[in-house]
Amino acid sequence: MSNPTDCRYTREHEWVRKDGDTYVVGITHYAQDSLGDVVFVELPEVGAAISRGASFGVVESVKAASDLYAPVSGEIVEVNERLRDEPDLVNHHPYEAGWMLRVKVSADSSLDDLMDADAYAAFLETVH
């Protein structure tokens, strides 16, 4: 699966995509593949503040539990409620139906120093 070009990427394998005046966040194909079958996603509450680089939740598979790190700072306006009963959406549709957070960010420019799709692909070569 190639990484969507309308997203930006972190070194911790989260993606973020601008959608209107909010930003949508999830984890990448590489992340879900490494985790294995996702069984639970622990997400923060709507209204909570997140801070770039800080942990905002946990994704659990049958063999591991990994922290999720915020690619941007801001306020959470929506979380993906479908993940409560269908955590496998993260595995099968990591960039669409498996999205995790919708965030209202404090400043637009914070996406620029995240990797684009090509840079992320190059980065993945170094972590294999």
Partner 1 sequence: MSGFISTTPAERDAMLSRIGVSTIDQLFEDLPAEHYRPDLDLPPGLSELETWQLLRKLSETNLDLERHPNFLGAGAYRHFVPAAIGHLISRGEFLTSYTPYQPEVSQGTLQAVYEWQSIVCALTGMDISNASVYDAGTGTGEAARMACALTRRRRVLVLDTVNPRYREVLATYASGPDIDVETVPAFTARPDGTLGRVTDFSSKIDSSVACMIIQQPNFLGWMEQVEGLSDALSSVGAILVVIADPVSLGVIRPPGAYGAGIVVGEGKWTGGPVDFGGPLVGMFACRKDFVRQMPGRIVGSTIDGDGRKGYVLTLATREQHIRREKATSNICTAEALIALATTIYFCHLGPVGLREVAEQSIQKAHYLASRISQVPGYTVQSTAPWLYEFPIHCPKPAAQVNEALLAAGIIGGYDLGLEDPALAHSLLLCCTEVTPRSDIDRLVDVLGSL
To which residue do tokens 């919708």 refer? 102
- Shortest reach from residue 39's CB to partner 1, in Å: 7
Supply the minimum distance, in Å, between the C-beta of residue 7 and partner 1: 27
Name which of 84 and 92 has its Cβ closer to partner 1. Answer: 84
Binding site for partner 1 (CB under 8 A): 39-40, 42, 45, 58, 60-65, 67
| C-alpha torsion sign, points 52, 35, 30, 25 | negative
- Cα Rg for the chain, rounded, in angstroms? 13
56 vs 95, beta carbon nearer partner 1: 56
Q: Which CB sits closer to partner 1, 19 or 67?
A: 67
**12: exposed, middle or buried (Cβ count in 10 Å: 0-12, 13-18, 19+):** middle
